[in-house]
Amino acid sequence: MNNNSQVDQSSGERFTLSAQAYRKVAIVALALIGIIVVTGAAVRLTGSGLGCEDWPNCSSTEFVEFGNPNQTIEQVNRLFTGLVSVAVIAAVLGSLRRRPYRRDLVWWSAGLVAGVIGQIVLGGITVLVDLHPAAVGAHFLLSMLLVSDATILVWKASHEAGPTRPRVSTANLNLSRVAVATAALLMVTGPIVTGSGPHAGDQKSPRFDLLIPDVARVHSLNMWLFLIISVILLVRLGRAKTPSDILRRGYFLLIVILIQGGIGYTQYELGIPAWLVLAHIAGATLLVGTVLWFHLGLSSVMATDSAATESLTSRIPGQSEESLSPT
C-alpha cells in the first residue's frame, strides 16, 4: 500500500514546473495579453470586425484566409486570441504544478481566466448594443485589468513568497500609490475621448454626447497630473539615496509617460488618425504594466524562517501534515 502511494506520488511529480520555468510561462501570458489588446484595437480602428464571413473559418471553405487587409487583420486577431487562451490555461495549470507550490500564484493566474471569460461576455454585449462607447470602453478597461493581473503574476513569479516591507519611506510609497491611481484614471478618461470621436466604433455606432476638445482637455490634464506626481516622486527618491534598481524603473516609467503624452498631442493635432490611435493604445498598455512594475519594486520580501515559509506557501493542496514529515 505504501509502495503504491510512493509510485503514484513519483509519477505525479514528473509533470512539474520549476520556479524559473513558470516565470517564463507567466511572461509569455503577459506578452500575449498585451499584443491582443493592440490587435483587438486594430480590428475596431480598421473596421475589420466583419473581415471574415464565418467563424471559426474565415470563409465557408478556408480556415485561414488573407485575401484582403480586413481579412488579414481579423485573422491575426483571431490567432492571437487562441494563443492568449492557451497561455492563460498554461498559466493556471502551471501554477498548480509549480514546485514549490504557491497559492498566491494560483489565485493570480485564475484571475486571468476570469478576465478572459469577462472579455467574452463583454464582447457579446458590445455587439448587442451596436458598439456603444460605454461597452467599448468597458472592454478596454477590462483589458487593462488583465494586463495588471498578468504584470503582478510575473512579478510574484519572479520573487520569493512571503510578507513584504517597504524599501522607501511611507510618504514616497503613498505618493507612488497616488501615481498608480492617477494612471488608472487615465484608463477611464482616455476611452471617454475615444468614445466621443471618430474611432468610437463603426460609422453608424453611437457616440458620447460630449465635445472632443473638452474631454481631450480633461484627459490631457489627467496626464499632466500623472507626470507631475511621477517627477516629484523620482526627485524625492533621488534625494533619499534610493537603490539604483528602483530609480532605473522610475526613469523608464518617465520615458514611457513622455512618449505616450507626445503621441496623444500629436494624434490630436493631426486629426486623430487611426494609426496614431493604435500607437496610443499600445502605449497605454505599456504604461499600465510599467507603473505597476515600478510600484511593486518599492517593496521587497522580508526574510522569513524557511520552514515556516515552506509550510505556508509550498504545501500541495490535499497534502496532510504527516505526509510532509520524514518517515
pLDDT at residue 321 in the model = 41
Q: Which residues contact residue 160 at a Cβ distance below 8 angstroms, ignoring those fewer than 6 apart?
A: 301, 309
* Confidence at 268, pLDDT banded by 50, 70, 90: confident
Q: Phi and psi at residue 243, in whole multiples of 5°?
A: -50, 145
Q: List pLDDT tens digits, range 223-256.
A: 999 999 999 999 999 999 899 999 999 999 999 9
pLDDT attached to residue 312: 47
Q: What percent of the chain has pLDDT over 70?
A: 79
pLDDT of residue 203: 65
| C-alpha dihedral sign at 155, 307, 98, 20 | positive
Over residues 181-200, the mean pLDDT reads 87
Mean pLDDT, range 182-191, rounded to an integer: 95
- Please tell me the distance from the alpha carbon of residue 56 to that of residue 74, in angstroms, as a whole number: 11
For residue 87, the tally of other CB atoms under 10 A from its CB is 24
Q: For residues 232 and 238, give the distance between their C-alpha atoms in angstroms, rounded to a whole number.
A: 10
What does the block give as the cell for 200? Answer: 468610437
How far apart are alpha carbons 62 and 75 in whole angstroms?
Answer: 11
pLDDT tens digits, one per residue of 91-139? 999 999 999 999 999 999 999 999 999 988 887 887 788 778 888 889 8
pLDDT at 327: 34
Tell me how many helices (H) and strands (E) the chain has: 11, 2
Rounded (5°) CA angle 226-230-234: 175
pLDDT, tens digit (0-9, with 9 covering 90-100), for 41-80: 887 777 655 556 555 556 655 555 566 666 777 777 778 8
Report whether pLDDT(142) > 70: yes
Distance CA 300, CA 164 (A): 5
Domain ranges of the chain: 19-158, 164-303
| Residue 304 CB-density burial (10 A; 0-12 exposed, 13-18 middle, 19+ buried) | middle
Q: Given this model, what pLDDT does residue 8 score?
A: 47
DSSP string for residues in 209-263: SS-HHHHHHHHHHHHHHHHHHHHHHHHHHHHTT--HHHHHHHHHHHHHHHHHHHH
Position 293, amino acid: W
What's the per-residue H, E or C state across 170-184?
HHHHHHHHHHHHHHH
pLDDT of 308 higher than 60? no
pTM, whole model, 2 decimals?
A: 0.85
pLDDT at 165 over 90: yes
How far is the C-alpha of 36 from the C-alpha of 135, rounded, in Å? 18
- State the virtual CA torsion across 209, 214, 215, 217 in degrees, nearest 10: 170
